[in-house]
Chains A and B, each alone.
Chain A
Amino acid sequence: MWEAKPPVADPTVALTGAAAPPRRNGELVFGAPWESRLFGVTLALCEAGLFRWEEFRTLLCQEISAWEAQGSAKESWSYYARWQVAFERLLAEKGLCTAFELEACARTLAARPSGHDHADLDGATHPRTR
């Protein structure tokens, strides 16, 4: 699982999971665009002073050990999936965003026509992340 070295020509192969393909002097920093957005959003909110990193780290550790405690019936390992659950818990605890709001928003986004750039809630356009 920790074969490192050779550069990989096609970085679109098997981008997620513990065996993301390596590239020069290491591996891809993020396995998928959503991972990088999640990381960036988390750090931005921390830098804005909305929580202390240690508060997030504690929840992340809890989510990771909860996953590890599930035994063989668990879903496959995804580090950033655990991060996402921990971050959602933190946002709820801080009163920044509830699970209800998040699910409503995700449903709205899921109802978009697929395959082209979209308008976000505030009208800003971004390339689809997935």
Chain B
Amino acid sequence: MSGADRESSDPRDLALRVEALEALLREKGFLDSAQVDAIVRHYEEDVGPLNGAKVVARAWTDTAYRRRLLADGTAAIAELGFGGPQGEYMVVLENTPTVHNVVVCTLCSCYPWPVLGLPPAWYKSPAYRSRIVREPRAVLREMGLELPAEVEVRVWDSSSEVRYLVLPERPAGTEKLSEDELRRLVTRDAMIGVGKVRVGSEASGG
């Protein structure tokens, strides 16, 4: 392995290096660039928190589904057509008035891609990964979520296999909303556990 120059994080150097990597692997026959295009497009355009929001809205409106989801997350999520890399072993964590779950990957960036897409920058940041374990309430407060002292905070560290999805509490006053209307309330942050679902703060479209 070469030394210092490969540690450079100059974006131009990195861009060049990645370009060289792709060209070499293609030339060697290991790689089809059209497949790379398709993968990138899939994660940029097709997969995102909307999938997880559908799971949550279904669980809120269908008691039997909710039970299946909490018993076997992977299978229940697959019922809605979601699965694939980083979703092979899904565990769903139910928030209640007394327990609040929040998810992290302390070592890198493990995240349930099929239901949430790729993780936001803050989820991958050294600060979040280290601090949410040590001082979850303080970090959540900084992120805009103040939890009463009597609520137990459980921090879940994604291991090499398990990926977690938080099932947020259904907000009060939403009894008359349809599954589709509920789905639009569910945010990515609520499904990581750094936010709550609130009425009137719809996840914008996406």
Contact = CB atoms under 8 A, between A and B. Distances in A.
Interface of A: 1-2, 4, 7, 16-20, 22, 24-27, 29-34, 36-41, 43-48, 50, 53-54, 57, 60-61, 64-65, 67-68, 75-81, 84-85, 87-89, 91-92, 96-97, 99-103, 105-106, 108-110, 120-122, 124, 126, 129-130
Interface string B119-144: 01110111110000000000000110
Contacts of B120: 4, 22, 26-27
B108 A61 contact: yes
B68 interface: no
Contacts of B33: 124, 126
A33 B15 contact: yes
B160 A57 contact: yes
Bin the interface of chain B by size: 35 or more
Contacts of B187: 25
Given A24-B206, A81-B9, A84-B17, A60 B108 contact: yes
A60 B106 CA distance: 12
Contact of A1 (B26, B40, B125, B205): B125
Contact of B18 (A4, A29, A41): A41
Contacts of A38: 18, 21
A27 to B, nearest CB: 5
Contacts of A32: 11, 15
- Secondary structure at the A interface, as helix, strand, loop or mixed, is helix
A25 B107 contact: no
5 contacts: A19-B121, A37-B22, A39-B39, A39-B40, A41-B36
A57 B189 CA distance: 24
B188 A26 contact: yes
A25 B126 contact: no
Contacts of B27: 121-122
B150 interface: no
Most chain B CB within 10 A, of A40, A88, A100, A121, is at: A40
Given A30-B40, A40-B35, 20 more contacts: A7-B204, A18-B122, A19-B121, A26-B120, A29-B43, A34-B14, A43-B39, A44-B36, A46-B85, A50-B30, A53-B85, A79-B124, A88-B1, A96-B30, A102-B24, A106-B16, A109-B19, A110-B16, A122-B26, A130-B12
Contact of B25 (A26, A30, A96): A96
By Cβ-Cβ distance, the 5 closest A-B pairs, closest first, are A130-B15, A40-B36, A25-B206, A34-B15, A105-B20
